[in-house]
Chain A
Amino acid sequence: MVRNGLMIWILLIMSGACYTQDRITVDVNGWINYRLATGALQFDPGPNGAGLAVGMAYPVKGSISGKSSVEFGAAGTGNFMAFTVGLQNESRSPRNRLVGRTGAGVLQGIMLYRPAPLYVWGLDMTSMIGYELKNRSVPGMFAGIRYYGIPGYAKISEVNRFLDLRIGMIYLF
């Protein structure tokens, strides 16, 4: 069962070259974070907040699309607001209506602090799989990893960089 699922996923990603994204899509997604490591990748597991985002994907070339999103959540040392930009490969299997996306992005944002916010940066990789409905919208799930840091927090604590596993739900319009 798991092996078949993985095979479908891999086939979808590999078949991306045959598919051309032809329209802009908008998505909403929500996720929970599970911390894998902190600092210079010391193993430090534990729940680590959650987030919500509104995103957009736009055709670039062939199956490659650009993506951007605005997000709000709690992670690492506090609450944050950020935007991400990146690229992704989209694959579709019209026969069984499956949609897959795998991409990478860069995060820039602020940790919401008083008296002044702190800058946060991050890198992430995400894969999603969804099922295309008749109205072309796609509910799905995604998983990914994100490494992020809050340089200004270094004067407060050595724990200012995090590696999180993100698991969530997504809805493409």
Chain B
Amino acid sequence: MMIVLSCSYLPDEEGTLYEPKTETGDYAIYYSGSIQPENAFIMIPGGLVDPYAYACWIRDLVREDSSFAVVLMKYPSNLAIANIGKVKKIMDELAGFTHWAVGGHSLGGVVAATTLDDNRELFDGLVLMASWSREAADLSDWEGTVLSIYASEDSLATEEEVQENSNFLPAGVQIDSPNIIPDGDRRTYYYRIAGGNHSGFGCYGLQDGDGTPWITSEAQQELMITVMKSYFESLW
């Protein structure tokens, strides 16, 4: 039982062979062009998902926008929750970046919110993918902006759970189009992907217990990329 519960999802074929600019045992950095940008988005993988399962859309995200890099975090057990302090250590190591946002998928998003709560002054933004913050990391009074992306067919992080935990984020607004328009005091942008599911936030096949999507994961990731680009433009 323990062994089955310890298995990580490997990237499917489409998620492989996207070479990062820099790669160590702790992270992989992606950006386009030859000059390292000043802005960086730290991406924390979901629990028991291999980090490279997110490389499929990270490659397209940085290809379309060279103003920021993506730092994809790695964890030996593929469980970021077992090492919440690691992001801060890596930030200290990567001194070339001056502006930071953090985010994650599923359990990785919970770790991202906790990391931000522990280091509020260091981050400009937070991106939650099928995830939320919790009472222990109450960000409702945080003055930055948050992008929360969720999917209608997600059975592992449902729309209801995203809404139930919205109290722990700054006051929010639902956006129908993937183009972010700053909206005064409402600083959390909720973006719902109709037809998408939990597994569609990465490239690793269908996760156990997930709902059946009625759009392709490529279509889901195109929408993710569009809204994230728009969000980072509003941030940096």
What is A's interface to B at a CB cutoff of 8 Å?
33, 35, 38, 44, 46-49, 72, 74-79, 81, 112-118, 155-159, 162
Contacts and interface: CB of A to CB of B under 8 A. Distances in A.
A156 B16 contact: yes
Contacts of B2: 72
Given A115-B205, A156-B17, 15 more contacts: A44-B26, A46-B24, A46-B25, A47-B76, A48-B25, A79-B6, A79-B77, A79-B78, A112-B8, A113-B7, A115-B10, A155-B16, A156-B16, A156-B50, A159-B23
Contacts of B83: 47
B231 interface: no
Contact of A72 (B3, B15, B74): B3
**Contact residues on B (Cβ < 8 Å of other chain), bracket:** 20 to 34
Contacts of A156: 10-11, 15-17, 50, 52
Contact of B7 (A48, A77, A112): A112
B15 to A, nearest CB: 8
Given A49-B76, A155-B16, A78 B8 contact: yes
B8 A162 contact: no
Contacts of A72: 2-3, 6
B28 interface: yes
Contacts of B205: 114-115
Contact of A79 (B7, B16, B17): B7
Interface of B: 2-3, 6-11, 15-17, 19, 23-26, 28, 50, 52, 74, 76-78, 83, 205
A114 B9 CA distance: 5
Given A38-B25, A46-B26, A114 B78 contact: no
Contacts of B52: 156-157
B10 A114 contact: yes
B108 to A, nearest CB: 15
A117 B24 CA distance: 23
A76 B2 CA distance: 19
Contacts of A118: 10
Nearest to A38: B25
A115 B83 CA distance: 25
A35 B25 contact: yes
A29 B52 CA distance: 32
A112 B6 contact: yes
Contacts of B17: 155-156
Contacts of A113: 7-10, 50
Interface centre among A38, A75, A112, A158 (most CB of B within 10 A): A112
- 9 nearest A-B residue pairs (beta carbon): A49-B76, A74-B77, A79-B6, A112-B7, A74-B76, A113-B10, A78-B8, A38-B25, A114-B7
Contacts of A75: 76
Contacts of A158: 19, 23
B102 to A, nearest CB: 19
A36 to B, nearest CB: 10
Nearest to A80: B6
A42 to B, nearest CB: 8
Contacts of A81: 3
Contact of A78 (B23, B25, B26, B50): B50
A157 B28 contact: yes
Contact of B3 (A35, A49, A112, A155): A112
